[in-house]
Amino acid sequence: MDETLRLAGRLMGVDIPAPELDDATRAHLAKYRFGSVCLFRKNIRDRHQLARLVAELREILGPECLISIDQEGGAVQRTTDLPEAPAPMAIGATGDAGLAEAVGGAVGRSLISLGVNWNFAPSLDVNTNPLNPVIGDRSFGSDPQKVAALGLAWAKGLEQAGVMACVKHFPGHGDTHLDSHLDLPTVGKPRALLERLEFLPFRRAAEAGVGSFMTAHIVYPELDPDYPATLSPRILGGLLRQEWGYDGVVVTDSMDMKAITKFSPDAGAAAVRAFAAGADMVLALGPKPVQAAQAEALAKAIAEGTIPRARLEHSLERLARAARAFPGTPRHYSAQAEAADRALMKEAAARSLTRHGPVRLPRPADRVLFVAPDVAPGESAYENGPAAQDLARRLKERFPGLRTLAYPRQQPQAVLASAQAAAKESDFILYVSTTRQQLSHAEAELAQALFALDKPALHVALWNPYHVQVVRQPALITYGWRPPTLEALVEALSGAETPGKLPVELAG
């Protein structure tokens, strides 16, 4: 059973609980010899600690272990002391495939310098639903042709730098109103429409031979009315492998997401079904006992022949081939290369900034009233959210007369009287929306009240571009809030050009 357990472990990617390995985690990893470890913010203090952790993981799991991370750019970045890429939607606003490739390359250079050789990016989801709670700025836009061109350029740059790309979330998470971290979405489109929209970027990725695909925990009734894609032989085995001829690595999205745990509460059975459906690796995130149960279930299926030997060998060979193509040997990352990559990220952010409507800017001597929510938490894939106060601090260096007014997101109207009084002593009003989710009705009312105060005013949509169709006032759209974007935004509010073009369609 030990041999089958080791084989099962090779088919699994797991997470670990902390920045250092304790004895229990070391023993757990050594017992199962997992094929991959996925790193999150909880595992990272800084690049030096991360490089040591990656080296220790490879000592335990072997040089063929794939060390993975979600370093998409924008809000989804697990390590933040490397050059921070703008969000994919920001790249979409530039429309420049060459820039997309360069940004992907910069992300790859920084990751491989630490020995991280598998990036769960880019997202090839076509974001056509403004109410999508989990994709949004993680998508390059709403045009499938542009998503394909920009996403594959980004992936090419990443892989040329030595890090395997993973396009996600196959066959498409861009038109859902549910978050698969929390529930099981359904996309009920007919096959012809799926081909034109959701499928197009993924089919192109299969044709291009991108290193890996990640599955979506979504039901597509037109393809398989019974199972979500992650568990569907018709979708993984039929559509992706047979129809499209894809022979790279297929990894599941996290099996601890509620879309799967509600559908199949038995974690071990779900892992076996995902592998049987066509996945090569099961992303088994969560507590050690759950990971162990999934490993034991896979080992039992191997021993009993439920997983045919030929099928097992195919997956092991794909994983081995990926490890050979993308060895995790750290590459030197010079100070000059890093400085150039940081400059590239700021350039990309600056080129993405988008004007919506006839924008008027504050003058340096203006008394600016800066109004924003007090807190904007992260959720689901986002491990943190923007701090509008960080932007306010940066702006105060350019606009010394700036005054901030933070409102509680649950009670925006609580600051209306204060805003009205402050506006009398102000020359310009800057309303900054920071949430990833849709603006509440009360927030929209507050915004409209600010614009009705008979003062020059501007809306900054700091994360979600669809906020402009709720506020319906002149705006600057940034698609994110990492430092390079905030630096570029300060320049834009001071008069720098904003050449970005909105990469999604707005209602009305």
Alpha helix ranges (H) inside 161-255: 191-196, 199-208, 233
C-alpha 294, offset from chain centre: 26
| Residue tagged active-site, from 181, 247, 314, 374 | 181
Q: In whole angstroms, what is the distance from residue 89 CA to residue 146 CA?
A: 11
The single-letter DSSP state of residue 175 is T
Write the single-letter amino acid at 267.
A
Biggest CA–CA distance in the chain, Å, is 77
Query: By three-state DSSP, how is residue 30 classified?
Result: helix
The single-letter DSSP state of residue 269 is H
Q: In whole angstroms, what is the distance from residue 214 CA to residue 458 CA?
A: 40
Query: In the annotation, is 356 catalytic?
Result: no
Query: By three-state DSSP, how is residue 57 classified?
Result: helix
Q: In whole angstroms, what is the distance from residue 320 CA to residue 287 CA?
A: 26
**And the tokens for 77?**
């970045």
Alpha helix ranges (H) inside 199-281: 199-208, 233, 258-261, 267-277
| Residue tagged active-site, from 253, 280, 341, 366 | 253
Alpha-carbon distances, residue 166 vs 216, 260, 481 (angstroms) = 12, 20, 24
C-alpha 357, offset from chain centre: 29
* Length of the chain measured in residues: 508
Query: In the annotation, is 332 catalytic?
Result: no
Alpha-carbon distances, residue 202 vs 142, 227, 344 (angstroms) = 14, 20, 27
141 Cβ contact partners less than 8 Å away, ≥ 6 residues apart = 89, 92, 93, 126, 127, 147, 150, 503, 504
Burial classification of residue 48, based on how many CB atoms lie within 10 Å of its CB (0-12 exposed, 13-18 middle, 19 or more buried): exposed
Alpha-carbon distances, residue 60 vs 34, 57, 415, 460 (angstroms) = 10, 5, 55, 48
Catalytic machinery residues: 181, 253
